[in-house]
Amino acid sequence: MLSAHHEAVSVNSRVKTFYHIHLISDSTGETLNTVARAAAAHYERFHPIEHTYALVRTPKQLHRVLQEVEGNPGIVLFTLVDDGLRRELETRCRMLEVPCISVLDPVVATLATYLNAQSEPRIGAQHTLDSEYFRRIEALNYTMLHDDGQHAETLDAADVVLVGVSRTSKTPTSMYLANRGIKAANVPVVPNVPLPATLEEARHPLIVGLVASPERIAQIRRNRLISLNQDEETPYVDREAITEELVATRRLCGRNNWPLIDVTRRSIEETAAAILNLLSERQYERSAQ
């Protein structure tokens, strides 16, 4: 028999238990979402139903949130600066007998001890319109302008250039990097279409090749054509033709000593993390010279 806080559902012929998780923030809630999903990933058989409440800054707003928590009991994670709201939330959660965790408290407390300083919390402090914020905006503007081989004459201004055949996630990976403040351009490798001369001439950016298995690319391309109501057979989805495209990409990267990343089984986040590691290693090597 399942408890009141858990229910069973069938997903792809497998029974999964789902549970409610309430994410309460006085800011955008991005921190909570990241922490919650990272933790939930450790329990594959359990499926979280997320209830996200952003910009909770008044007792009236908190009251509405608590009504939702009472109606759907589950784990409560929060980031609230206001002491009054924190106390009210923790008190009500104890009454409802649901776990209630301030996710930043252990880290903030450790920093206070290590730095021998008192915390000075400010709502949304991580989203201040400072130089870092405007660096990210500049990176986003550059990345959008240099998507899919556009404006190749200014490729050397990029921090990272992604090279690969169609459907190797170049654009979403570029956008993810841009949101981290990295100017990322991407250039497609297209059969019988010459690459821009500025690509191999570029010296400032880290140039990375993206590849995947022919089967994976063919599947994604076929789904793309179906979504466009174009399901006829073309070289675009032919595995042999795709294999030739991938061989050309590998040769290009080998000739120029550019690193390659196989994205077949990687998420966008994992691909971006690998690129950031390569960029960090490159910067370290250059600083050591």
Question: Is 209 one of the annotated binding-site residues?
Answer: no
CA distance 170 to 188: 8
CA distance 65 to 100: 13
Total structural domains in the chain? 2
Name the pLDDT band for 121 (thresholds 50, 70, 90).
Answer: confident
Written as one string, the DSSP assignment of 118-178 is -----TTGGG--SHHHHHHHHHHHHHHHTGGGTTGGGGGG-SEEEEESTTSSHHHHHHHHH
Q: Do 158 and 95 fall into the same domain? A: no
Tokens standing for 129?
A: 């319109």
Question: Is 254 one of the annotated binding-site residues?
Answer: no
Say if CB 181 and CB 133 are below 8 A apart: no
Q: Do 177 and 207 fall into the same domain? A: yes
Q: What is the pLDDT of residues 213-261, one digit of tens each?
A: 999 999 999 998 988 888 777 899 999 999 999 999 999 999 999 999 9
Q: Do 197 and 243 fall into the same domain? A: yes
In this structure, of 30-44, 120-134, 145-159, the range with the lowest mean pLDDT score is: 120-134
Residue 192 in domain: yes
User: Which CATH number covers residue 276?
Assistant: 3.40.50
Q: Do 137 and 71 fall into the same domain? A: no
Residue 233 pLDDT: 77
Q: What is the pLDDT of residues 84-115, one digit of tens each?
A: 999 999 999 999 999 999 999 999 999 999 99
Residue 131 pLDDT: 74
- Radius of gyration of the CA atoms of the chain, in A: 24
Q: What is the pLDDT of residues 164-190, one digit of tens each?
A: 999 999 999 999 999 999 999 999 999
Domain boundary pick from 80, 115, 150: 115
Q: Do 151 and 267 fall into the same domain? A: yes
Contacts of 163 (CB under 8 A, 6+ apart): 170, 186, 187, 189, 195, 199, 207, 208, 209, 210, 249, 252, 253, 258
Question: Is 181 one of the annotated binding-site residues?
Answer: no
Tokens standing for 121?
A: 């919390």
Question: Is 92 one of the annotated binding-site residues?
Answer: no
Q: Do 57 and 174 fall into the same domain? A: no
Judged against a pLDDT cut of 50, whether residue 12 lies above it is answered with: no
Question: Is 165 one of the annotated binding-site residues?
Answer: yes
Judged against a pLDDT cut of 60, whether residue 1 lies above it is answered with: no
Residue 125 in domain: no
Is the pTM for the entire model greater than 0.75?
no
Q: Which domain holds residue 33?
A: 6-115
Question: Is 287 one of the annotated binding-site residues?
Answer: no
Question: Is 164 one of the annotated binding-site residues?
Answer: yes
Q: What is the pLDDT of residues 266-275, one digit of tens each?
A: 999 999 999 9
CA distance 277 to 270: 11
Q: Classify 103 as helix, strand or coil.
A: coil
Q: Do 90 and 180 fall into the same domain? A: no
Q: What is the pLDDT of residues 130-174, one digit of tens each?
A: 678 788 899 999 999 999 999 999 999 999 999 999 999 999 999
Name the pLDDT band for 13 (thresholds 50, 70, 90).
Answer: very low
Residue 121 in domain: no
14 forms bridges with which residues in the sheet? Answer: 11
CA distance 163 to 190: 10
201, amino acid identity: E
Residue 1 in domain: no
Q: Do 36 and 164 fall into the same domain? A: no
End-to-end alpha carbon distance in the chain: 65
Judged against a pLDDT cut of 60, whether residue 276 lies above it is answered with: yes
Give the whole-number percent of the chain exceeding pLDDT 90: 78
Judged against a pLDDT cut of 50, whether residue 46 lies above it is answered with: yes
Q: Do 149 and 247 fall into the same domain? A: yes
Q: Do 105 and 137 fall into the same domain? A: no
User: Which CATH number covers residue 89?
Assistant: 3.40.50.2300
Question: Is 271 one of the annotated binding-site residues?
Answer: no
Residue 127 pLDDT: 54
Say if CB 11 and CB 1 are below 8 A apart: no
